[in-house]
A and B are shown apart, each in its own frame.
Chain A
Amino acid sequence: MFWTFLTSTIKFSTLFLYGSVGETITEKSGHLNLGIPGIMCLGAIGGCYGVRSYIDSLGSLSQMSGFAVVLVGMICAFLFAALGGMIFSFFTVTLRCNQNITGLTITTFGVALNSLMLSKIDKTGFYEAGRLFSKGIVDANTTDGLVKVLFSQSALVYIAIAIAIITAIVIKRTRVGLNLRAVGENPATADAAGISVGKYRYLATLIGSGIAGFGGLFFIMDYLTGNIEYGIDTYGWLAVALVIFTIWKPNWAILGSIIFAALYRAPSYLNIGFTEREVIKMLPYIVTVLVLIITSIFGRKSVQPPAALGTTYFREER
């Protein structure tokens, strides 16, 4: 029972992990992208259409290769989501618009497009594709214990953790990461040091959005095994919350996302009433607010949001 809970929690946490790692990269550049729920939806759309065209290109469903379907799904999800990031950067960097309103519009757009496009898509073969997506190294039904937790997970789960770790290393230990952080903390200084603020913001937002897009793909194809009836937007906001909860550290997000997922999943495993369930569902947001408050009251500078978060930078308005 416990191992099943842990397994499914880690699986579910992947959704938040993708979203929050993507958003962390974006926020590190000073972009508060409130379009992340919409962008995750765009990722889901991209993934579904990718899988659809892959299935269509095959003669029969049995020819489907697990590797190919995941790869195609990921590429398409990345491209679609990055397109959302592109729109965001174009508006905020090139057109110098307000980040909040651009982000909110992207969310509205993405969520609406998601429910529209996915209601039109032909779902044949999605279940089979979903099975391939969620296939682990070992079968979850036959094993138990730590082996089940660690080895029955699907490819996208491992990829998420790998991306989180790589992102953490890149941000902390490379010059690219250093420059990125400088852009998010003090764009004027970065600019004076010869770093192109616009380029970094564009790229960070594109890559961050692409990664968040995997979250959408994961949710539809892997977590729901190809069932495309559900929306992602609520989870998208949790991903934004998770960024604050983990104080902008992608490696912590691995643990943070598991905590969030556990809170979300726990009610179905515990024998409690509806009310208590709702209380538990509220907890992630409440702890996030608490983290926000505590860091602002006692906050050392190292746990603050990037100083330039949400501000548009262009030279003449320093």
Chain B
Amino acid sequence: MTYKQYQIGGNSVEKTVAIELRGITKTFGDVVANKNVDLDVYEGEILSILGENGSGKTTLMNMIAGIYFPDAGHIYINGEEVVIKSPKDAFAHKIGMIHQHFKLVDTFSAADNIILGEKCPKFDLKEEKAKLVEAHRAENEAYENYDEAEHPGPLAYMAKPKFHPEKETKRKLALMPLVGIGRRIKFNWLAKKRADVVQDIANRFGFKIDLKKKIYDMSVSEKQTVEIIKVLYRGADILILDEPTAVLTPQEIDKLFDVLRNMKAAGKSIIIITHKLNEVMAISDRVAVLRKGEHIATVNTSETNEQELTEMMVGKKVSLNIDRAEPHDVKNRLVVSGLSAVDADGVKVLDDISFEARSGEILGIAGIAGSGQRQLLEAIAGLYKVKDGTITYFDPAKDDAPVDLRSKTPVQIRDLGVRLSFVPEDRLGMGLVGNMDLIDNMMLRSYRKGFMFLDRKSPKKLAETIVEELEVVTPSTHTAVRKLSGGNVQKVLVGREIAASPSVLMAAYPVRGLDINSSYTIYNLLNEQKEKGVAVIFVGEDLDVLIELCDRILVICAGKVTGVVDGRRAIKEQIGLLMTKTAGDVDENQMSIDDLHDTNNDEGGEAL
């Protein structure tokens, strides 16, 4: 096997390349997810893949893990070109990926999950027979050549080779199939101590986990550990972790990082997909930055800093030419203060969030996916349980009288006369019903009007208006929305929400997955609403869009507000840094890398 030798940076350290990507390209329809990506991963290193949402990190890694197949390009493992068509192939090349959603059977113990699906080692009868014959022949030979004089001592007879007569060999050969069956039965039997074998592997890598515990009794971080052990147990040498820290608490992250370092020490190559800069700095040896599907650069972590990485990640400012009018008649419409919420596992998802949304303004919410944006909007809409804090609406119809919205159901909110529209992130799973036609979907908002029976006339009119004005491409208003393309689905949803003439309009990732034209339609709609005096809340992920569209941008990170910036004066890098900081404000950005390393190591030491 030929290993390629590479030089890293200026150092003369030579490392073996474990996996090599050359010219990998992947497109989905018209959208390029990855374009001509070259990437090397060395043995015994931790490589971070850094990029914003939509930069193509996960798609790239999925191609190594066999979930997608590249349209073009080559993958080399240990210097040899390989074709990875399925996760099975990836396993055969000792590549294991830990996804964000765990694949575990809840009612099984961790150990059982790890050994699940293990195949019985092949028992080749012919081969085994040949082995037996050979073993007997060798021993007989040794017996004949054995010279007792060479081995003195009273216990020498014990080491003396035995002679196997032909009869014995024949008998054993005849019984060979039974041995095969026996092994199968033995393999099939789940010994009580099966957990110990797995536990040993876990201990070797320094996992602190009881593998006899049932999955349903485990925390998210424990489940993740089980997934990692599962991959290791199957003998993976290259581990890919897809945003492993997204679901973990800081202490758990430290533990995870220790485990990753142990695995690195054991010679494994580890790739972690992330968009958190501090983690990149803390854990990785090198960082590969992707932006809009392209590989920007791979740098040694020790030779870079967060500022530089952010610049690479967000890129130069791109002008989008979104018309932004000056806000007029600005009044507080929705005031949130000290809002906190926890998820089903008791993890804080919103932590003391305060802000105000003003009429005639677009308030952008920036943040890495999963920082609490969804929960925040749902809490305001009455769909997510609030633990602490207040949500106050100032009713324009009643001379801006305050209305308390906290812990109200959506129906109660509407009955209070609050005109709140919400375009949720999950369009077909929440905002619309995929199997219903346009008219029935329009009715979701209006069906309560009238007595007993549905009024389909006005929804039909509305559907027709939306189709016409927003240029929705659909065979008719009787088509199930599931059959429309993403952009058209979104137009239907936003159109419906706007038709309710809201005074507050919340939109979560309204342009996700949309082409340029549809995106601009949505921007224009939001701007129109703003000019009508609506308080618009826009959760976005493209910083260029946020900066050009929004009047103010609220940046949140891990459920906390890390800053509010003026959309007209905001700088991309500044927002990027706010998004990735767990605490503090802009001024603290210049914390040195060494400090970061130290703190992490210290905390890690304490945690374990």
Q: Which of A's residues lie within 8 Å of B, judged by CB?
A: 172-179, 181-182, 185-186, 188-190, 192-195, 301-302, 304, 307
Query: Which one of A174, A188, A189, A190 has the greatest number of beta carbons of chain B within 10 Å?
Result: A189
Q: A residues within 8 A CB of B112?
A: 178
- Nearest chain-A residue to B189 (Cβ)? A174
The range of chain B's interface size is 20 to 34
CB-based contact B108/A182 at 8 Å: yes
- Give Cα A182–Cα B214 distance, bound, in whole angstroms: 14
CB-based contact A175/B216 at 8 Å: no
The 28 sampled A-B contact pairs (Cβ below 8 Å) are: A174-B190, A175-B115, A175-B188, A177-B190, A178-B108, A178-B115, A178-B190, A181-B107, A182-B105, A182-B108, A185-B106, A185-B107, A186-B103, A186-B104, A186-B106, A188-B103, A189-B105, A190-B105, A190-B117, A192-B103, A193-B103, A193-B116, A194-B119, A195-B116, A301-B216, A302-B107, A302-B214, A304-B107
Q: B residues within 8 A CB of A188?
A: 103
CB-based contact A190/B188 at 8 Å: no
Q: A residues within 8 A CB of B117?
A: 179, 182, 190, 193-195
Q: A residues within 8 A CB of B188?
A: 174-176
Complex interface residues of chain B between 160 and 214 (CB less than 8 A to chain A): 187-190, 214
- Give Cα A302–Cα B105 distance, bound, in whole angstroms: 12
CB-based contact B190/A185 at 8 Å: no
- Give Cα A294–Cα B189 distance, bound, in whole angstroms: 33
Q: Is residue B402 within 8 Å, beta carbon to beta carbon, of the partner chain? A: no
Query: Which one of B104, B107, B115, B214 has the greatest number of beta carbons of chain A within 10 Å?
Result: B107
Q: A residues within 8 A CB of B106?
A: 185-186, 301, 307
- Nearest chain-A residue to B119 (Cβ)? A194
CB-based contact B104/A189 at 8 Å: yes
- Nearest chain-A residue to B104 (Cβ)? A189
Which of these, B88, B107, B116, contacts A179 with CB under 8 Å? B116
CB-based contact B108/A194 at 8 Å: no
- Nearest chain-A residue to B99 (Cβ)? A192
- Give Cα A203–Cα B88 distance, bound, in whole angstroms: 24
CB-based contact A186/B216 at 8 Å: no
Q: B residues within 8 A CB of A176?
A: 188
Given contact pairs A301-B107, A307-B106, A182 touches B116 in the complex (Cβ within 8 A): yes
CB-based contact B190/A307 at 8 Å: no
Q: A residues within 8 A CB of B103?
A: 186, 188-189, 192-193
Q: B residues within 8 A CB of A193?
A: 103, 116-117
Shortest distance between the CB of A165 and any CB in chain B (Å): 16
Q: B residues within 8 A CB of A195?
A: 116-117
Q: A residues within 8 A CB of B105?
A: 181-182, 185-186, 189-190
CB-based contact B87/A175 at 8 Å: no
CB-based contact B116/A178 at 8 Å: yes
Q: Which 7 A-B pairs have the closest CB atoms?
A: A193-B117, A189-B103, A194-B117, A301-B216, A193-B116, A186-B105, A175-B188
Query: Which one of B188, B189, B214 has the greatest number of beta carbons of chain A within 10 Å?
Result: B188
Shortest distance between the CB of B267 and any CB in chain A (Å): 26
